Amino acid sequence: MFIAEVAFPSGRFCGASFETPDHPEWPPHPSRFFSAMVASACMNEGMTDPKRQALKWLEEQDPPAIHNPPADSSPMLLNFVPPGDFNVQKGKVEDPFRRIRKERYFPQAYILQEPILQYVWDKEPPQDFLKTLDEIALGVTHIGSSHSMSLVRVRTGSPNGISFRPQNKGSHFFRATIEGRLEELTDQFYNSIGVRRPTATCEVLIPYKPEIEKSTICESPFKEFHVFRLPGLSHGAESSESLARAVRRAVMSCIPDPIPEVIHGHVPGPHVGWIPLCDVGHQNARGRITGMALAIPRGGMAESRSALFAALARLRERGIKLDDGRDVYPEPLTPEYQVPRSLDRLTWTRTSRVWASVTPVIPDRLPKKRTALEASRSVADSLLRAGFPKPETVEVSPFSVCEGAPSILSYHLRLPRFHATVRFSEPVSGPVVAGRRRYFGVGLFRPLWDES
């Protein structure tokens, strides 16, 4: 294996996340490392032929795996600073003492263990390339912001471990280089004018997945999670059950008799879940349902699968009749459609130890007493009955910790219901639904980031 080791002597990394500029980017994306190597190569003697060939080899490799120590990635406070360049309007240069201060963030990730990061490639370079890359690495002074002092060396051998690995179904997206990035960076180094960094055209987002032992992951009873849009819908999360029943009724009307048991669900055992997905978890969330997901259980769907999706395709033309008399037409998620986070499959299925309810849980066994302890026990029992491990802790409340999710008072039910935040002793993959009526989206959980 070919390994690039990056040490941060100051114990911190300064660089903003491309998604949320008030948060630091940790770990630094592979494209940052490649940019630092090209900058080092262009210094002193300039970009020579051996340097160009060695960096070209590095550019052509698959995205590396990453081993990184944990870090405190808390958001930073907003700062107001004068811009570094002058604004020229109508031939007049702006007075530097009257420049309007701009909003800026200076995020920093404080590394909590030994501050050494490793990028790991499976393929080893030829010896002459390895020597040249090591010489280039010695000239790297920082990665990311110039405040991130860095010491870099390259070697072959085994890494200290793997934290993230490129994988198509990964939930983390890191920037990596593609062919042409070397020439693009070299041109910017020698011909760039001004302080503004041009937009990269030879970078792509690569999905990465945290490296966790499979044996330690508890898998959801649902194997597949197929999402589709419901454009024009204005229902809130409190209408989840009625909407799910309307979709199920419409799908079954398009399937000839006999309807498979795993679809109609009138027999004991796992069957298809009809899960409305609502917009929650951010400051502007209002809990509006934006789409639906078909949660398909493990096993027993081979023959019924084609009938289910054929019926859903027919509904794109026929529409779904809702309880209020309106029609809604389901649409698939196409590549040109910018998928909101509420309709991103990974929002509901990624692995986590901590989960919070979006719609309240109606326990399978009602609590014997109206106490928080009995309510917590009944929620834990419902998770066990749904096929998940027993949680370490359960915190119940009338309100969800997910912003925008309606409280239990919005659900006009006579049965006891609770919002809950649960923590498992091992990572659990989604979707997670529990309690009565879970096959209609009541008791749906969303993963939270596990700070530990």
- Domain boundary among the residues 183, 211, 239 is at 211
Q: Which is higher by pLDDT, 317 or 33? A: 33
d(CA 267, CA 395) in angstroms, rounded, equals 32
Angle at 19 between CA 14 and CA 21, to 5 degrees: 45
**pLDDT at residue 441, rounded to an integer:** 92
**pLDDT at residue 72, rounded to an integer:** 85
- Domain boundary among the residues 211, 242, 260 is at 211
Q: Are residues 27 and 129 in the same domain?
A: yes
**pLDDT at residue 278, rounded to an integer:** 92
Q: Does residue 257 belong to any structural domain of this protein?
A: yes
Q: Which is higher by pLDDT, 60 or 105? A: 60
The stretch 81-92 carries a mean pLDDT of 62
Q: Does residue 355 belong to any structural domain of this protein?
A: yes
**pLDDT at residue 267, rounded to an integer:** 79
The average confidence (pLDDT) of the chain is: 87
Q: Are residues 231 and 281 in the same domain?
A: yes
**pLDDT at residue 215, rounded to an integer:** 47
The 8-class DSSP code of residue 149 comes to: B
Q: Are residues 154 and 87 in the same domain?
A: yes
pLDDT tops 60 at residue 195: no
Q: Per residue, what are the HEC states of 45-81?
A: CCCCHHHHHHHHHHHHCCCCEEECCCEECCCCCCEEE
The stretch 179-197 carries a mean pLDDT of 80
Range of the domain at 95: 2-211
- Domain boundary among the residues 189, 211, 233 is at 211
Per-residue pLDDT of 431-451, as tens digits, reads: 999 999 999 999 999 998 754
Q: Are residues 247 and 369 in the same domain?
A: yes
Structure tokens at 229: 């849009």
CA distances in angstroms from 40 to 17, 141, 181, listed in the order given: 23, 8, 15
Q: Does residue 166 belong to any structural domain of this protein?
A: yes
129-143, 183-197, 261-275: which range is least confident on average? Answer: 183-197
**pLDDT at residue 302, rounded to an integer:** 62
Task: Please give the full DSSP string across 417-451, using - where no structure is assigned.
Answer: -BEEEEEEEEEE-S--B-STTGGGTTTBEEEE---
The 8-class DSSP code of residue 302 comes to: T
d(CA 390, CA 349) in angstroms, rounded, equals 18
Q: Are residues 206 and 331 in the same domain?
A: no
Report which of 256, 208, 141, 224 is spatially closest to residue 429, judged by C-alpha positions: 224
Q: Which is higher by pLDDT, 89 or 294? A: 294
What are the DSSP E strand ranges found in 279-418?
A: 289-297, 320-321, 327-328, 331-332, 352-357, 393-397
Per-residue pLDDT of 410-423, as tens digits, reads: 888 888 999 999 99
How many C-alpha atoms does 344 have within 13 Å on its Cβ side? 14
* pTM, 2 dp: 0.58
**pLDDT at residue 370, rounded to an integer:** 84
Report which of 437, 430, 429, 423 is spatially closest to residue 382, judged by C-alpha positions: 437
Q: Are 311 and 268 in contact (CB under 8 A)?
A: no
**pLDDT at residue 386, rounded to an integer:** 92
Structure tokens at 132: 């040249």
**pLDDT at residue 359, rounded to an integer:** 94
Beta-bridge mates of residue 408: none
Q: Are residues 204 and 244 in the same domain?
A: no
Report which of 197, 215, 201, 45 is spatially closest to residue 135, judged by C-alpha positions: 45
Q: Are residues 204 and 277 in the same domain?
A: no
- In 3-state terms the chain splits into helix, strand, coil percentages (rounded to 5) of 25, 25, 45
Q: Does residue 151 belong to any structural domain of this protein?
A: yes
pLDDT tops 90 at residue 259: no
Q: Are 356 and 401 in contact (CB under 8 A)?
A: yes
Report which of 332, 143, 378, 324 is spatially closest to residue 230, judged by C-alpha positions: 332
The stretch 373-377 carries a mean pLDDT of 92
Q: Does residue 217 belong to any structural domain of this protein?
A: no
Q: Are residues 43 and 109 in the same domain?
A: yes
Q: Does residue 216 belong to any structural domain of this protein?
A: no
**Tally of domains within the chain:** 2
**pLDDT at residue 447, rounded to an integer:** 92
- Give the percent of the chain with pLDDT over 70: 91
Q: Are residues 136 and 270 in the same domain?
A: no
Helix, strand or coil for residue 244? Answer: helix
The stretch 16-39 carries a mean pLDDT of 90
The stretch 68-84 carries a mean pLDDT of 79
Q: Are residues 249 and 349 in the same domain?
A: yes
Q: Are residues 196 and 232 in the same domain?
A: no
Per-residue pLDDT of 53-75, as tens digits, reads: 999 999 999 999 999 998 888 87
Per-residue pLDDT of 208-254, as tens digits, reads: 988 865 546 788 899 889 899 888 888 888 899 999 999 999 999 99
Q: Are residues 435 and 406 in the same domain?
A: yes
pLDDT tops 50 at residue 305: yes
The stretch 420-427 carries a mean pLDDT of 92
Per-residue pLDDT of 321-349, as tens digits, reads: 888 888 888 888 876 667 788 888 888 98
